[in-house]
Structure 1
Amino acid sequence: MKFILGKKIEMAQIWQGDKVAAVTKVEAGPCVIAQIKGKTKDGYEAMQIGFGAKKEKNIKKPQIGHMKKISTQAIASAIGGKGSVSGGKKNLKYLREFRIDNINKDLKVGDIINVSTFALNDVINVSGISKGKGFQGVVKRFKLSGAPATHGNKDQLRMTGSIGSSGPAHVFKNRRMPGRMGGDKKTISNLKIINIDAPNNLLYIKGAVPGIKGGLLLITGDGELKVEKISPESNARENKKAGNQASKDLAKNQVGKDRFANLAQEIKDKISQPRIIKSINILEEKNNLDLVSMIAKVINKEIEYSQLKNHLMEFYNFDEAKAGELDKELKEKVFIEVSDYLQ
């Protein structure tokens, strides 16, 4: 079985000779193999693949740890340059699993799946989440005919009608009644690929597929899964680069801690957290000045915390708007951990 993840772009038309076909344009892959499951360890055989780009701050830590096994080069190839992959960040937006029998032993974590695994006229199945339509009545939701429009009927055209007899004295399960419609997983079978744009990772699928524009699609078909291998040399080079960046970040954080060496230990531990040191470095580069001495004076209460804005205007010649902006950023990103001590 072959498969890929994709994103629904739009519907369009393609001419085939003198006939026109309605097609769905899908951005399919590239996807990276994130995990291979086996019967020995997991109890079943399956393959997990990742697709799309996502900011690391929006990814939970367990998922970040799960994706550490994938090389940075493979992530970069999968997301096609979207999102940040610097410093070893792994920003896959979607992870989905496909059950497979007898997984090819040549497939490895980090291999890339792209549209080249499919061919023209392949018959495929496409799964996605259907459009949500909110709370709907039985006429729209279940195509019931409604009540007669004449012969004494009034305001009953789209009513449900009887929902049971008085004998059992209760409503049976699965009775078709008004309720939430759409937003369900749907699979459309036996669709055909009628065009492939490999350079742009696009599949043109005849007919409609479930979901909204930009919705995730799971595409499966019969045949051999073809993958693109990432060279070990590239992996080693990228991992070395990521390791060097991590070492630089660590050294930078250590320098930041040393700059607050004269503060009390409890306050020093709070103000020397990596994210706060990073914020200070960014603000110093942005405003082209040394903020550490001023921050230390504020913490030692040589400068009043409430008068920080006025201090910036007086000693750094900032205008009121710029001083107010820096004052807000310092209080939100730097002094947040020691605000109780300062007030």
Structure 2
Amino acid sequence: MSLGLLGNKIGMTQIFDDLGNIIPVTILKIGPCIITQIKTEKKDGYNAIQVGYGFIQKKYLTQPELGHLKKSNIQSLKYLKEFRSNNLEEMTVGQILNVGLFNIDQLVDICGKTIGKGFSGLQKRHHFTRGPMSHGSKNHREPGSIGMGTTPGRVLPGKKMSGHLGNKKVTIKKLKIIDINMNENILIVKGSVPGKPGNLLTISVSK
């Protein structure tokens, strides 16, 4: 994974290109992020850069978290994220990273949690077809058979059934950057990204 940043989703809108075509875009607030730790293969077994995002009061962090940040003389941060990287020469602890890491027309991968939709049935969760709606039928939205009778006499793991829908980690790959606002640390990408406005996102350059 290449070096990336953390940010929040602001919302969606649409813009027009030079030909008058409508482009659906998502507006993201990215960083600024601070490098909190640099891990090397010699010391830690692998090369990685840990970045922090979102200032928070000390009372909301645990003692191990405070000790980890105090070791690098960095103020309290809410989120920490590691990115595997071999380019460690230009990075220093305490360095501030912002949207200048990206370029217009560049492709990025954006990872975040989808919107949680609670308990859902088979038609909504797994796109099952419903049963007949005619008089006398009793399986309008039923799952049908969920396993064998005597052998093995149980429901096998992984069976598609009703349950919690959404609230899962999802990565949308190769989204094109339309515009960048350096002053406000705003990133505008084409298309949609996971979650609702305010959702925490991880943005990294596509390979």
Q: TM-score, normalised by structure 2?
A: 0.92
Distance in 2 separating the partners of 1:48 and 1:217: 15
Segment of structure 1 superposing worse, 124-133 or 143-152:
143-152
Segment of structure 1 superposing worse, 29-38 or 157-166:
157-166
Partner of 1:109 in structure 2?
Answer: 93
For residue 71 of structure 1, report the CA deviation from its aligned partner.
Answer: 4.5
Are 2:173 and 2:206, in contact at CA under 8 Å, matched by a contact in 1?
Answer: no
Partner of 1:45 in structure 2?
Answer: 47
Partner of 1:163 in structure 2?
Answer: 146
Distance in 2 separating the partners of 1:148 and 1:188: 37
Give 1:36's aligned amino acid: I
Correspondent of 1:179 among 163, 171, 190: 163
Tell whether 2:15 aligns with 1:31. no
User: Which residues of 2 match residues 81-230 of structure 1 at below 5 A?
Assistant: 90-100=75-85, 102-150=86-134, 152-154=136-138, 156-168=139-151, 169-222=153-206
User: Which residues of 2 match residues 295-334 of structure 1 at below 5 A?
Assistant: none
Percent sequence identity over aligned pairs = 41
User: Which residues of 2 match residues 282-297 of structure 1 at below 5 A?
Assistant: none
Are 1:147 and 1:161, in contact at CA under 8 Å, matched by a contact in 2?
Answer: no
Find the residue that maps to 1:40 and give its secondary structure.
Answer: helix
Give 1:161's aligned amino acid: G
Find the residue that maps to 1:199 and give its secondary structure.
Answer: coil
Are 2:109 and 2:206, in contact at CA under 8 Å, matched by a contact in 1?
Answer: no
Give 1:96's aligned amino acid: K
User: Which residues of 2 match residues 216-295 of structure 1 at below 5 A?
Assistant: 216-222=200-206
Are 1:192 and 1:205, in contact at CA under 8 Å, matched by a contact in 2?
Answer: yes
For residue 185 of structure 1, report the CA deviation from its aligned partner.
Answer: 0.8
Give 1:172's aligned amino acid: L
Tell whether 2:5 aligns with 1:4. yes
Segment of structure 1 superposing worse, 143-152 or 2-11:
143-152
Distance in 1 separating the partners of 2:123 and 2:94: 49
Give 1:54's aligned amino acid: I
For residue 222 of structure 1, report the CA deviation from its aligned partner.
Answer: 4.4
Distance in 2 separating the partners of 1:209 and 1:61: 34
Partner of 1:60 in structure 2?
Answer: 62
**Per-residue CA distance 1:169-200 (angstroms, 9 max, x = gap):** 22111100011111111111111111111110
Change (3 A) 1:95 1:19: same
Give 1:11's aligned amino acid: M
**Per-residue CA distance 1:231-263 (angstroms, 9 max, x = gap):** xxxxxxxxxxxxxxxxxxxxxxxxxxxxxxxxx
For residue 27 of structure 1, report the CA deviation from its aligned partner.
Answer: 0.2
For residue 167 of structure 1, report the CA deviation from its aligned partner.
Answer: 4.7
Find the residue that maps to 1:4 and give its secondary structure.
Answer: strand
More strand by share: 2
Find the residue that maps to 1:105 and give its secondary structure.
Answer: coil
Distance in 1 separating the partners of 2:154 and 2:92: 57
Distance in 2 separating the partners of 1:222 and 1:97: 16
Q: Which has the higher contact order (CA 8 A, sep 6+)?
A: 2
More helix by share: 1
For residue 112 of structure 1, report the CA deviation from its aligned partner.
Answer: 1.1
**Per-residue CA distance 1:297-335 (angstroms, 9 max, x = gap):** xxxxxxxxxxxxxxxxxxxxxxxxxxxxxxxxxxxxxxx
Give 1:98's aligned amino acid: F
Are 2:3 and 2:83, in contact at CA under 8 Å, matched by a contact in 1?
Answer: no
Distance in 1 separating the partners of 2:78 and 2:148: 51
For residue 70 of structure 1, report the CA deviation from its aligned partner.
Answer: 3.7
Give 1:20's aligned amino acid: I
Q: TM-score, normalised by structure 1?
A: 0.57
Greater gyration radius: 1
Give 1:192's aligned amino acid: K
